[in-house]
Structure 1
Amino acid sequence: MPYGKYQGRVIADLPGHYLGWFAREGFPNGEIGRLLALMYEIDHNDLRSLLLPLRAGEGLVAPR
């Protein structure tokens, strides 16, 4: 997160209540807003477990 109370945190690590605040107040424009909105949907629908393989490095293809 580039600014605010949670500056420096990975967006996937933001607490649900903070993401909910953005959903109520409005997401910022641009890529950061799209990423926050996506993370809100993941959190709101209890799908954070979908991120576990990415955190563990599973399923990632090494660059050629």
Structure 2
Amino acid sequence: MQHILAETLSQTMPFGKYRGKKLIDLPEPYLVWFHRQGFPNSKLGRQLALMYEIKVNGLEGMLQGRGSQDPGKY
């Protein structure tokens, strides 16, 4: 599981408005929208679903210093 989490934290969004932004830095409303639309059936989709679960359950604190490009976060 640590490998999956580490890989997810280093993954950047490959398309759209947030292209190039790390998944950990995606806004929660965007992940909620994706959840409602349905995540892609792919590795990226699973990573987005993981970030959705982390954010909606308020678990970002456990990731402190583990990937955010935004120094003011967490």
Fold agreement, TM-score > 0.5: yes
Give the structure-1-normalised TM-score.
Answer: 0.81
* 1:12 counterpart residue number: 24
Count of matched residue pairs? 56
Written as runs of structure 1 = structure 2, the 5 A alignment for 1:1-64 is: 1-55=13-67
Structure 2 portions without partners, runs of 5+: 1-12, 68-74
Instruction: State the superposition RMSD in angstroms.
Output: 1.5
Greater C-alpha Rg: 1
Structure 1 portions without partners, runs of 5+: 56-64
Q: Which runs of structure 1 show a deviation greater than 3 angstroms over 4 or more consecutive aligned residues?
A: none
Give the structure-2-normalised TM-score.
Answer: 0.70
Identity across the alignment (%)? 55
Distance in 1 of aligned mates of 2:15 and 2:41: 14
Q: How far 1:53 sits from its partner (Å)?
A: 4.2
**1:20-64 deviations in Å (ceiling 9; x for gaps):** 001100001211000000000000001111111424xxxxxxxxx
Q: Give the residue type in structure 2 aligned to 1:9.
A: K
